[in-house]
Homo-oligomer: A and B are copies of this chain.
Amino acid sequence: MSQPATVADVAAAAGVSRQTVSNALNRPEIVRPATLTRVRAAIDELGYRPHASARRLRTRQSSTLGVRLPPVHGISGAVLDRFLHALVERADERGMRILLFTATDLDDELAHMERLVEGSDVDGFVLTSTAHGDPRAAWLGERDVPFVTFGRPWGVPDMDDAPHPWVDVDGRAGLREATAGLVARGHRRIGFLGWPSPSGQGDERRLGWRDALGDAGLGAPPAGSADAGLGAPPAGSADAGLGAPPAGSADAGLGAPPAGGADAAADGATGAGSGSASGAVDLACEDDVAAATAVVAAALQGGTVFDAVVCASDTLALGARFALGAEVPVVGYDDTPVAAAVGISSVEQPLDAAAAAAVELLMGSGRSVLPASGGHRLLAPHVVWRG
């Protein structure tokens, strides 16, 4: 067992040529069964394993996908983590491996990608979301390097005809389901807590909330009500909200149409301080627990009444939870361990399906990466209800 066995050894042991060994391994169907058995026996006996680098040199395929490990991801880090996990598994099923790289900025990332491509280290990439004019996409496109993004290419005119394949989760559908679920549970004054516009994902999720309110005849505030850029309040400004008073007044009961009708629900839209009684309030702040707490607390202070709140992230949801207490249902997004731990309902992304779709877009149904192509998948998430 000193020197690892090579094809030559196996060939000799089985009394065949090296080529036959290779065939037995890669295209068993064209080898006569008897020969195959003999070769396989020899392989087992010698403990032979093909040398991956030798094969890659010859075939000019690295069977490797490059993935950038994004810098830092806050509370939602687990999402990428889980996606990565699923990706490794799905890739493995197709004989592909995942090579990691990191980068400090876009230029650095490009440099890394260039090295990997030119060193034939990878056959393609799985990138996180790209935006219009993203230099990575352009660079890869020019060189016909196959890649797929997890996250749609924001900013392109027609996403159905995107410049590159992508996979994404339909946050709009997710928030729609979440909101509808709350409606079904009898809630009526359902607020939304998201990020300031413009934000690709954030705006999508807001739309989902609006959709559901519309579906339920609850009406939604005029589009853009919260877009008036309440600049991100400084973090930590008000974690006093921890002990915030519970929303005092209750909800309209199940089944009973909310008093005041649809439009009334939109009154007073955003912000702290307006004395609106409506719960269909559209709040926004940066993705930070303290900021979220502050925003929600301020809204309560201003007289806003919430029956429930759906959020664009678990971070925001956690903040909202602190401000609202456990009595007012909050739904987050990403189903992070924190949400599970704290008992907050959350929209769970189908990460395994996303990974599978990414691999499929890159490789079709075969075992090698296809030439750069198009296509995309928009996957529906689902709510994990808790509490």
Q: How far is the CA of A338 from the CA of B319 in the complex (A)?
A: 11
Asked whether any CB of chain B lies closer than 8 Å to the CB of A236, the reply is yes
**Are A53 and B62 also in contact (CB < 8 A) when A69-B85, A100-B88, A239-B326 are?**
yes
Cβ proximity bits A295-333 to B, threshold 8 Å, 1 near / 0 not: 000000000000000000001001100100110000000
Q: Bin chain A's interface residue count.
A: 35 or more
> Does A337 contact B75, Cβ atoms closer than 8 Å?
yes
Partner-binding segment picked from A113-121, A211-219, A255-263, A358-366: A113-121
Closest chain B residue, CB of each to CB of A239: B343
Given known A85-B69, A115-B49, contact A236–B343 (CB-CB < 8 A): yes
Are B57 and A337 touching (Cβ within 8 A)?
no
27 contacts between A and B (CB under 8 A): A49-B115, A49-B118, A52-B120, A53-B53, A53-B57, A53-B62, A53-B120, A54-B57, A69-B88, A73-B337, A74-B337, A75-B338, A77-B77, A77-B337, A81-B81, A88-B100, A88-B102, A97-B99, A98-B100, A100-B100, A239-B326, A243-B326, A289-B341, A289-B343, A318-B338, A318-B341, A322-B342
Query: 8 shortest A-B CB distances, which residue pairs?
Result: A49-B118, A289-B341, A52-B119, A53-B56, A53-B57, A75-B337, A74-B337, A98-B100
